[in-house]
Amino acid sequence: MFARWDRMAKQFTRIGKEIIIAVKAGGPDPGTNPALRRCFQNARSVGMPKDRVEAAIKRAQGKELINYDEILYEGYGPHGVAILVETATDNHVRTVANVKSIFNKGDGTLGNSGSVSFQFRKMGVFKLNPAGLNAEDLELELIDAGLDELGEGTGENGEELLVLRCAFSDFGSLQKALEEKGINPLSSELEWIPTTTVELPEEQAQDVLKLVDKLEQDEDVQKVFHNLQ
C-alpha cells in the first residue's frame, strides 16, 4: 500500500515539474500550448488532484521563479545494461552527484553524453482506451500523421490499451490528428525506446531493476529507461 502511495506521489511531482516547464515555455493556455495539454492528459491518467495541477501552473507564473533544466544522463548498469536517466533540476551539481552515487553503489557506471543514447530511439508514445476504436482503421488513418507502429498493451491494473508510437519529430502532428478525431489519449509521453534489448537471468535482472528503482526514487529524476528485456 505504501509503495503504491509513494509511486503516486512521485508521479504527481514529476507531472508538476512538467507543467511548470510547459507553462514557462508556451504559456498557461492549454488551447495554444500542446505540451500543457499533454501534461493535463497525463495528470488525469494518474488521478492527480485538480488543485495540485492548478498549484503547479501558479508556481510557473509566480514571482517565486523556479527554473528546471531538463538534463539526460547516460550510463551502464550491472551486466552491461544501458540506462538513460531523464532529470528536471534546479541544481545541476546536486543532481549529477546523486545520479553518479546511485550508479556507483548499484555496480553501474555513469557515462558521457552520447555513450548510451545511440542504442535508443526517442519516440512519442500514446496510450488509448480501445473501447469503440477499430485498430486497423485507426492505423491506416494515422499513417500520414506520422504513426510508426500500433500495438496492444496493458495498464498498471491489467486493463487493455492501444499503444501508438511515432518518431519524436512527429509527436505534435500525431497529437493533433488524435485531437481532430476527438480521441483523448489516456497518456502521451516522449520515451526512449531501445533498438535492441539484453536478456539476463532472473538474479542478474534483479540487480539492474534495483538500480533503476533507486534512480527513480531520486527527487530530480523524472523517468528512467533501459534496454533490459
Look up the pTM and report it: 0.90
Q: Which domains are seen in the chain, by residue range?
A: 2-61 (1.10.10.200), 69-113+197-226 (3.30.70.980), 119-194 (3.30.70.980)
pLDDT band at 2 (very low <50, low <70, confident <90, very high): very low
pLDDT digits (tens, 9 = 90+) for 180-226: 999 999 999 999 999 999 999 999 999 999 999 999 999 999 999 99
Q: At what angle do helices 135-142 and 171-180 cross, to 10 degrees?
A: 130
* CB count in 10 Å sphere of residue 164: 27
Average pLDDT, the chain: 93
Cα torsion angle, 223, 205, 163, 6, sign: negative
What's the pLDDT at 217? 93
CB 184 within 8 A of CB 132: no
pLDDT digits (tens, 9 = 90+) for 37-92: 999 999 998 899 999 999 999 988 886 667 899 999 999 999 999 999 999 999 99
CB 173 within 8 A of CB 147: no
